[in-house]
Structure 1
Amino acid sequence: MVLAALSDPIDLLLVDDEPDFLEPACRFFQRQGYRVVAAANAEQAIAVQANQHFHVAIIDQNMPGMNGLELLPRLCNEDPDLKVIMLTGGGSIGSAVEAMKRGAVDYLSKPFGLDELDHLVRRVSKAVTLERENIHLKRQLADQNRPKPLIGNSQGIQEVKRLIGRIAPSDKPVLILGESGTGKELVARAIHAQSTLADKPLVVINCAALPESLLESELFGYEKGAFTGAVDAKPGLFEIADGGTLFIDEFGELAGGLQAKLLRVLEDGSMRRIGSTKERKVKVRLIAATNRDLNQEVAAGRFREDLFYRVNVLSISIPPLRERLDDIPLLVHHWLGEDWTLGPGVVELFRVSRWPGNVRQLINALERAKILADKNIIEIDNLPSELRRAAGHDVDAVGEHEPRVGDAIPLELLSHRHVLEVLKRNKGNKTKAAKELGIARRSLYRILDHLAAKDGNQVASSE
């Protein structure tokens, strides 16, 4: 009987002193897709293992010199991950038990067919595959939970970093406020990483991604038979996060019924799975994030006032990207790395954009531009058309030059608000403002005259 090919390659070591078994067994397992190495005695097996890793070893117990029971611990000590199958004499239960005590994962008594041995090896190989997947998932989880740095030196981001350091050691709930794309989950992960619960689980859920019924079962779990399709009991995320941190993104999207259940958990740690009358106790630190104004939601009756005050013990507000324009070069450098450069006009376009999608929009624009760019140089025409259009660019025009001091700068390259903000930052000093904007002072005068004529504004003059 020929079994299906292996999904993952398995390195197999065959150790037996009988050529009549070893040679045909070696060919058989090679046909099945194994990577096979044969050894005629224990000494050869030890020498082979010194230079190669094996997933599974098949060892004959009765060999001249060092027998299988003596070889077994030698191989396992050298490689604790090795799975060993011992071939024992017919009816020798005592030796099989001894082999298991010394580290074998299974045994097979002679006589047997190669198909039977293959079935056993495949069963052991599944354990190898599961261990591989487990290691991979743990690494993925570690990478996901490793907090990424908060990029920026602006006053707003410096304040966010300061608050994280002060808030993290507490076990109180935290409310993170900010527009979409500002990095609320990034802040939540930083809080968890700097907390006393850093070695405990951090569980993340997005309320906007799930309908109310599914969200409830995800948060609180359910018992077998609680509803159609509940064929087994399932713990909720509160139970999974027990002892650690639960981050609920888009917290303002919670429906009224879920708000009441969540309030109960926050008040005394009590919860019930769907379909259960049994109360469970959990201890979870809650971090919630929302882009909604919860004060307005409370006033409109869409959000429970008591839950709002329960969660809003400690809060952090993340500034939008348009309020931290000086951080854009740092963000761009972080996401692009050393090998990329920006073409003429790109920096100024970034600075005059409104960024409704904030840092997430910037990252997406950079990722798109990297795909379309030539020679690792990002040009204006590599950027999304909606970004160029929102910044006042003709989406069909390409190759604009970076403005230099003395140039007559097109008005569309500068947002009115940006000019006024720079002027305000320099306390009305037009010479300093023009230098920061990278334009001639007379160009700034023309821009201000245009604004005054358009909006009726008078800008105080200060040299």
Structure 2
Amino acid sequence: MSQTSANADIDLLLVDDDHELRSDIARYLSVHGYRVQQCADGEEALAQSERRAFDVAVLDLAMPGMSGLEVLQRLKARGAECEVVMLTGEGTIEIAVEAMKLGAREFLSKPISLRELDRLVRKACETGQLQRENQQLKAVIKQQQQRTPSMVGESSAMQEVYRLIQRTGPANKPILIQGDSGTGKELVARALHEASPIADKPFVVINCAALPETLLESELFGHEKGAFTGAVGAKPGLFEVADGGTLFIDEIGELAGSLQAKLLRVLEDGSLRRIGSVKERRVRVRLIAATNRDMAKEVREGRFREDLFYRINVLTIFLPPLREREGDIKLLLNHFLGTDWHMDDEVLRIFENYSWPGNVRQLINAVERAKILAEDEWIRAQNLPPEIVKGAAAAPTLKVGENVDLDTVNKLHVADTYKRFGGNKARTARALGIGRRTLYRLLEKYGIDAGDPAAN
């Protein structure tokens, strides 16, 4: 790539009251690929910075009215993220030190060399980008200190998932992961990121079901200082944090209509605006989305935008529920128990006969509970949650190839648990190892309510 084409991604704000010098600088930098916005004074520069985000600002120090140092100070006070190169005909050490303290990245004395200015601008951009990437990386590491366990499973259903990860990971296109709650959709998203050309870039996670709409908008797109009550400072959104990497949006089916429109715009042209800002910011992010909903049905019933659905559904991976992963339960048990723990044969039989409406997440919770209650390093049936023992005893023993409706078995188990807890949704959800939102969807899907004969 030529240096001119590399500079084409750089928006530059040039501020100097000397019309002739300013025109010469703008002409030279434009020829070298920069997108240059000229301003004759500080007031105009601040107005332009309100309308548009710049990567770098070249500021003359001595100007009538507002000085370059004052412009620099006000840019930084507003939270502007552009790098600053100061120009001055008064190249004293004191002025240079003051400019650097205020946030200037480089300092150049007049008369200037246009080639040297070009070098300093590129250097400022590169240094600033490295600094932002380091900050983003620290934020991601802090946010995701506890990584989820690696993928485990050798069933034919999981082999198909692995094949799709290998094929679609390097494609760097939007991917939709569909599957029940607790099946490990975030693990698949991480594996896709690690199989991509941007594996060394940030992998950022957000769950739409965990946040109210107003907070979710701020988390995704960021906000400016004073944009709403409590916004004491400017904050970049997760799209900006994930710039250059992958953003995983879990439970995307929960996204409100107004946010669907904003998300669509980012996917279409890479541009976004923070809450309370009129500036356009550009990001390059690979989107991976996940849902446990039937998105085609959501589109048909008007709850999800059709144009957005096709944007996020370029490639789809369907993640199987645990009950359809023949042979994987024993592998998962061995993985989560570790080498220091053992289990009775009866425990394995119970786990394999249970329908697992909460999938792998529910299995992990059951294992952790059993470890706490075990008196030694042996897991026994009495250490397991009672609803799992009872559910396994009530379920038919299924054999490979047997024509049994597993969805019906799952419905009966959910209804039975709901009945045993007297219709208490919170206790039922905890017993099943699933969230309350997931329980509501299962009750709606299976037509179970307090007056349903299946639940009474």
Short-chain TM bin: 0.5 to 0.7
| 1:374-432: CA deviation from partner (whole Å, max 9, x where unpaired) | 2211111100111112223xxxxxxxxxxxxxxxxxxx5xx33614x45469xxxxxxx
1:144 CA displacement: 4.7
Provide the C-alpha distance between the structure 2 equivalents of 1:214 and 1:143, rounded to a whole number of angstroms: 22
| Unaligned segments of structure 2, at least 5 residues | 1-135, 405-456
What is the aligned residue count? 269
Provide the C-alpha distance between the structure 2 equivalents of 1:372 and 1:148, rounded to a whole number of angstroms: 23
**2:179 corresponding residue in structure 1:** 178
Where 2:316 maps in the other structure, the secondary structure is strand
Contact 1:242 1:282 in 2 (8 A): yes
**1:285 corresponding residue in structure 2:** 286
**1:209 corresponding residue in structure 2:** 210
Contact 1:344 1:380 in 2 (8 A): no
Where 2:247 maps in the other structure, the secondary structure is strand
Provide the C-alpha distance between the structure 2 equivalents of 1:340 and 1:196, rounded to a whole number of angstroms: 39
> Is 2:385 the counterpart of 1:384?
yes
1:139 CA displacement: 7.0
**2:396 corresponding residue in structure 1:** 416
**1:259 corresponding residue in structure 2:** 260
Q: Which structure is larger by alpha-carbon Rg, 1 or 2?
A: 1
What does 1:23-422 correspond to in 2, within 5 Å? 144=146, 148-392=149-393, 412=394, 415-416=395-396, 418-419=398-399, 421=400
Which residue identity is paired with 2:379?
A: I
Where 1:198 maps in the other structure, the secondary structure is coil
What TM-score results when the alignment is normalised by the length of structure 2?
Answer: 0.56
**2:432 corresponding residue in structure 1:** none
Provide the C-alpha distance between the structure 1 equivalents of 2:170 and 2:289, rounded to a whole number of angstroms: 17
Which residue identity is paired with 1:225?
A: G
From the superposition, tell whether residues 256 and 379 of structure 1 become closer, same or farther in structure 2 (CA, over 3 Å). Answer: same
Question: Which structure would you say has the larger RCO, counting Cα contacts within 8 Å and 6 or more residues apart?
Answer: 2
Contact 2:140 2:202 in 1 (8 A): no
From the superposition, tell whether residues 303 and 151 of structure 1 become closer, same or farther in structure 2 (CA, over 3 Å). Answer: same
Which residue identity is paired with 1:418?
A: L
Contact 2:252 2:290 in 1 (8 A): yes
1:164 CA displacement: 0.5
Contact 1:325 1:351 in 2 (8 A): no
From the superposition, tell whether residues 292 and 273 of structure 1 become closer, same or farther in structure 2 (CA, over 3 Å). Answer: same
| 1:11-47: CA deviation from partner (whole Å, max 9, x where unpaired) | xxxxxxxxxxxxxxxxxxxxxxxxxxxxxxxxxxxxx
Which residue identity is paired with 1:300?
A: E
1:142 CA displacement: 8.2
| Unaligned segments of structure 1, at least 5 residues | 1-133, 393-411, 426-463
Which residue identity is paired with 2:234?
A: A
Provide the C-alpha distance between the structure 2 equivalents of 1:267 and 1:141, rounded to a whole number of angstroms: 28
Aligned-pair identity (%): 64
Contact 1:223 1:233 in 2 (8 A): yes
| 1:177-217: CA deviation from partner (whole Å, max 9, x where unpaired) | 11000000011111111111111111111111100000001
Q: Which moved more, 1:351-360 or 1:381-390?
A: 381-390
**1:43 corresponding residue in structure 2:** none
From the superposition, tell whether residues 423 and 216 of structure 1 become closer, same or farther in structure 2 (CA, over 3 Å). Answer: closer
Provide the C-alpha distance between the structure 2 equivalents of 1:362 and 1:148, rounded to a whole number of angstroms: 13
| 1:48-83: CA deviation from partner (whole Å, max 9, x where unpaired) | xxxxxxxxxxxxxxxxxxxxxxxxxxxxxxxxxxxx
From the superposition, tell whether residues 187 and 277 of structure 1 become closer, same or farther in structure 2 (CA, over 3 Å). Answer: same
Taking only aligned residues, the RMSD between alpha carbons, in angstroms, comes to 2.3
Which residue identity is paired with 2:284?
A: K
Provide the C-alpha distance between the structure 2 equivalents of 1:361 and 1:171, rounded to a whole number of angstroms: 32
